[in-house]
Amino acid sequence: LPTTLKSLWKKPQIGNVVDVYGWIRSLRKSKNVCFAMVSDGTCQQPIQVVATPEQAHLLSYGASVKVQGKLEISKKAALGKQQYELLAEKIDLYGKVNNDYPIQKKNLTTEFLRQYPHLRVRTAKQNDMFRLRSDTLEGLRSFLAKNDFIETNPPLLTSSDCEGAGEVFLVTPHSKENDFAGNSNVSNKDEQKSLFFGTPTFLTVSTQLHLEALALGMSRAYTITPAFRAENSHTSRHLAEFWMLEVEIAFIESLDTLTDVVEDLIKYLIQYLQEKGHYREHWNHVLKQWHRISYTEAMDALKNSSNAWHDPPEWGNDLSSEHERYLTDAYLKGPVFVTDYPASIKPFYMKPSSNNTVAAMDLLVPQVGELVGGSLRKDSITSEEVPKGLEWYSEMLQQANTPHGGFGLGIERLLAFLEGNATNVRETIPFPRSSGSIFA
């Protein structure tokens, strides 16, 4: 394999001749010398290449190159600038960018860059985000493995809507003979074809129910899975295709166990990321005490506030994003678990915690709002009570069920929260999918 800058920075051997590969992130040419900052995206720190005008005459901003050269301590190192530089001996040019290359040096807005999902990874900021994403997934897996969780892969094609919110995508088999692309009048015949497994087939909104089946046999199961929701929300925290960590735990009887796992997981992750060299100032605050309040207490706090609500708080209604924002950013100033929601606004599988509430918990965090949703699960449910297509689920609960519970954590919302600065979830996933945007 070609050397990476990440490996080079681990053990920089001064005086050695090395090959580096990457894209030119900035270029300064003068009469006698040329400086090029080259990054390969494997780490934050680029390398400064020093070349003669003859060596550099083919180079231009954005180009992809291989540089063979000698690693030296930079003359500017004393000024606290670039510590090392590469004195070029041989430069190979792989490719150049065209005149219409959109990734220019000037500060580009995230909205602008979003038009170029296939190219925006060439910017330092987007590149950092995708490394944060990679290390985040690694950190989550590390915590779960240490705690005896088994990673598993429930299906993405389902015949039911786990959350019951009616936001499912219908999957239709497609073949060359039956090409109806561009034909908006879906005929009866086409509807027939959507019955792929003999029933309507959907992309999963959550793998929870299958994960429960797996936890009721291996005790601690998790998956990091795509999830799909046909919601027409144009917000900074909704995607049509997002990734979710779903965790399911058998033999737990209290909601506190579940909230403890979530809090420990996220605090562990932040420490893990710091050990990997990531740092954001607000993380120190996140590592402090989190809050736990019931939905009813949250409603009381909202009603007692002097806020002029767009959407007045009302027991029995879901928390709106302005309510969430008030709780995390103004009232408690930090992450908060809200527990025991009205049963009427939560899915069928949640265990009752009183007459009209369920043992549910949502983790709300500053700026982002809801980051995690979870609950204890019902002990039993009759096949009449269960949504259509889920008869297997009610049958499963009759076969040596145990107390259990779990949660789902949105990876993109987690990254937006970790990044801070009101980051949009669209910046946290390489190719964001949401209603009205599918270019690359």
CB of 374 to ligand 4AD, least distance (A): 5
Cα angle value 181/117/127 (rounded, 5°): 150
Residue 310's CB is within 10 A of a number of other CB atoms, namely 9
* 18/156 with CB nearer ligand 4AD: 156
Q: Candidates 99-107, 174-182, 299-307, 368-376: pick the segment binding ligand 4AD (CB under 6 A).
A: 368-376
Per-residue mark of binding to Mg ion, 340-379 (x: CB under 5 A):
---------------------------------x------
C-beta of 289: minimal distance to ligand 4AD in Å?
21
Considering only 41, 366, 408, 432, the residue that binds ligand 4AD (CB under 6 A) is 408
Q: Site for ligand 4AD (CB under 6 A): which residue of 163, 324, 340, 427?
A: 163
Residue 261, helix vs strand vs coil? helix
189: Cα separation from own chain's centroid = 38
| Residues 340 and 360: beta-carbon distance below 8 Å | yes
Which two three-digit tokens encode residue 47? 């390398």
Beta bridge partners of 88: 69
User: In 116-151, which positions are buried (b, 16+ CB within 10 angstroms) versus exposed (e)?
Assistant: bbebbbbbeebbebbbbbebbbebbeebbeeeebee
C-alpha dihedral (329, 284, 225, 431), degrees to nearest 10? 80
User: Shortest Cβ distance from residue 362 to Mg ion (Å)?
Assistant: 6
Q: Is 215 in the site for ligand 4AD (CB under 6 A)?
A: no
Phi then psi dihedrals of residue 245, to 5 deg: -85, 120
Report 193-212 residues binding ligand 4AD (CB under 6 A): 206, 208
| 244 contributes a contact to ligand 4AD by CB under 6 A | yes
- Find the shortest distance in angstroms from Cβ 375 to ligand 4AD: 7
Of the candidates 400, 330, 407, the one whose C-alpha atom is nearest the C-alpha of residue 363 is: 407
Q: Does 41 bind ligand 4AD (CB under 6 A)?
A: no
Nearer to Mg ion, 40 or 324 (CB): 324
Smallest gap from residue 365 Cβ to Mg ion (A): 13
Binding residues vs ligand 4AD (CB under 6 A): 162-163, 206, 208, 229, 231, 238-239, 242, 244, 246, 370-374, 406-410, 412-413, 425
Where along the sequence are the contacts to Mg ion (CB under 5 A)? 373
